[in-house]
């Protein structure tokens, strides 16, 4: 398994976590819990963006992603 494919798997997991947190933020009635879920989802999205940038760098650097 390449580093690129591991990072792709990580992104899929993070996107799933983001969806769950967003869903909980909408469904939760308690204001503090709703805000905590919302803030966690926002932090997760920031991490996703950073990992996506890094994935692009990895794909550029790893030989198996380069055309021959």
Q: What is the pLDDT of residues 4-50, one digit of tens each?
A: 889 999 999 999 999 999 999 999 999 999 999 999 999 999 999 99
**What average pLDDT does the segment 48-55 reach?**
95
3 state SS of 65: helix
Tokens of 8: 């792709």
Q: Cβ(14)–Cβ(51) under 8 Å?
A: yes
Q: What is the pLDDT of residues 18-31, one digit of tens each?
A: 999 999 999 999 99
pTM of the complete model beyond 0.85: no
Question: Where do the structural domains in the chain lie, given as residue ranges?
Answer: 29-62
Higher pLDDT, 51 or 1: 51
């Amino acid at each position: 398994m390449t580093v690129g494919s591991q990072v792709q798997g990580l992104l899929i997991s993070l996107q799933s976590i983001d969806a769950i947190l967003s869903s909980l933020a909408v469904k939760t009635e308690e204001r503090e819990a709703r805000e905590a879920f919302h803030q966690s989802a926002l932090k997760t999205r920031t991490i996703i963006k950073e990992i996506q940038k890094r994935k692009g760098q990895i794909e550029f650097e790893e030989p198996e992603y380069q055309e021959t």
